[in-house]
């Protein structure tokens, strides 16, 4: 049986235009003090590694690659509007969305001394063990 290897790429931010939220507040793209997962980026990577499970369909079909999720970290640190920008199939995108719902409250982003909603993109890579051997 193949062992699984789940690689979680570091967080990356992309330059998207501000979008209107339902309450007419703008979500920023980049701010002076970016939102932070409790404990920092290393804690975020650990959280994802503990909670993301390689979907059975993706394993059986040998699906590998990156899933990119986009979400907003609100002024109260909660996550909303999570969507998948790029999905590789086999249930991988759904798995990333499932785990985003489990996340604790983040430290909110700040701009000019005020908390603000901020867009965040999170790439997550799914690879089987034999992929690592090919490199």
Quote the pLDDT of residue 14: 34
Quote the pLDDT of residue 130: 64
Which pairing describes strands 109-111 and 114-128: parallel, antiparallel, or unpaired?
antiparallel
Number of helices (H) and strands (E) in the chain: give both, helices first.
Answer: 4, 7
| Averaged pLDDT, groups of 10, the chain, 135 residues long | 40 34 63 94 94 95 96 96 96 97 96 94 88 48
Quote the pLDDT of residue 30: 87
Quote the pLDDT of residue 129: 80
Q: Please tell me what DSSP assigns to residue 30.
A: S
Q: How many other β-carbons are positioned within 10 Å of the β-carbon of residue 42?
A: 10
Instruction: Let me know: does 60 contact 82? Beta carbons within 8 Å.
Output: no
3.90.1150.60, 3.30.2420.10, 3.30.60.50, 3.90.120.10: which CATH number matches 4-134?
Answer: 3.30.2420.10
Q: How many other β-carbons are positioned within 10 Å of the β-carbon of residue 48?
A: 20
């Amino acid at each position: 049986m193949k062992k699984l290897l789940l690689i979680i790429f570091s967080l990356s931010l992309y330059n998207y235009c501000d979008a209107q939220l339902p309450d007419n507040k703008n979500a920023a793209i980049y701010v002076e003090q970016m939102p932070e997962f409790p404990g920092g980026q290393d804690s975020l990577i650990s959280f994802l590694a503990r909670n993301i499970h390689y979907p059975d369909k993706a394993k059986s079909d040998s699906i590998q690659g990156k899933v990119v999720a986009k979400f907003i970290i609100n002024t109260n640190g909660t996550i909303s509007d999570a969507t998948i920008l790029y999905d590789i199939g086999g249930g991988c995108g759904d798995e990333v969305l499932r785990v985003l719902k489990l996340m604790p409250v983040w430290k909110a982003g700040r701009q000019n001394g005020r908390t603000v909603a901020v867009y965040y993109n999170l790439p997550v890579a799914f690879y089987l063990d034999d992929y690592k051997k090919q490199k």
